Structure 1
Amino acid sequence: MARILIVDDSLMMRKTLRNFLEKAGHEIVGEALNGEQAILSYSKCQPELVTMDITMPGLGGIEAIRRIIQVDPAANIVVVSSLGQKHIIFDAIQNGAKNFILKPITEQKLIPVIDLVMEYSSVAASSN
């Protein structure tokens, strides 16, 4: 199972994600309220996967993705956001996010995407 950093400015959303992910056997290694905290926590916690909100106070999710990918091009970032516009999704993927899940979040939407990203990451790592 994966070591995961949760990034979202909503305490309720962080608790929901933590609950779903821990129930599925993942370990939550950190939480962040915005992009600045996400970058610092990524360096400190060395997660295998990050769930990233897009709209947060201060540094937003797209810029945080960009900066994390600059430090670690292999970072596994899954955007979890209520913003469903195509250009936001494209921007997140173009900047390094591996997948995108739209809120409202459900366990049935979240876990298969997390598992898929981790499986792909494992296959990519073993082929190197």
Structure 2
Amino acid sequence: MLGRIGFTVVGEAADGREAVRMFLAHRPHIVIMDVYMPVKNGIDATREMIALDKNANVLTSSASDCQSDTDAVIKVGAKAILKKPFEPREVFDTIKTVLCGK
């Protein structure tokens, strides 16, 4: 989906640990990651990425309505959370907002 709306995808991680490794290897402008991932969840992976780079732009997504998950991921440094299901336009607008620092 991201490629269709004009973004270059540098990788897709199977789990949170791999996401952190890919973050270190590629240093992308933005990371989009699910809150619920195997091995290391999105909250812990986000925390680790922010510890490695306080300016990291991490955007998380989740189908969960659990407010504590949303609060936790924002508390550890995620810049935004997308609630699934979402439309491509929502993703584009959220990425734009995060990258512009709004």
TM over 0.5: yes
**Which fold has the larger relative contact order, with Cα–Cα distance below 8 Å and residues 6 or more apart in sequence?**
2
Verify: 1:84 aligned to 2:65, yes or no: yes
1:20-52 CA-to-partner distances (Å, cap 9, x unmatched) read: x21221110111011100010001111010001
Partner of 1:39: 20
Q: TM-score, normalised by structure 1?
A: 0.76
Separation of aligned partners in 2, 1:111 and 1:84: 22
Separation of aligned partners in 2, 1:84 and 1:52: 16
Partner of 1:105: 86
Percent same amino acid at aligned positions?
Answer: 30
Verify: 1:23 aligned to 2:23, yes or no: no
Separation of aligned partners in 1, 2:21 and 2:51: 13
Q: Tell me the secondary structure at the aligned position of residue 64 of structure 1.
A: helix
Q: Tell me the secondary structure at the aligned position of residue 115 of structure 1.
A: helix
One-letter code of the match for 2:82? I
Partner of 1:57: 38
Separation of aligned partners in 2, 1:86 and 1:24: 29
Q: Which has the higher helix share?
A: 1
1:89-119 CA-to-partner distances (Å, cap 9, x unmatched) read: 1100000000010111211221110111011
Separation of aligned partners in 1, 2:87 and 2:48: 28
For 1:60-71, what aligned pairs fall within 5 Å after superposition? 60-71=41-52
Listed as ranges, the gaps of 5+ residues in structure 1 are 1-18, 122-128
Q: Which has the higher strand share?
A: 1
Say which one has the larger Rg. 1
Separation of aligned partners in 1, 2:15 and 2:35: 9
Q: State the 4+ residue runs in structure 1 displaced beyond 2 angstroms.
A: none
Residues paired across the two proteins, number? 102
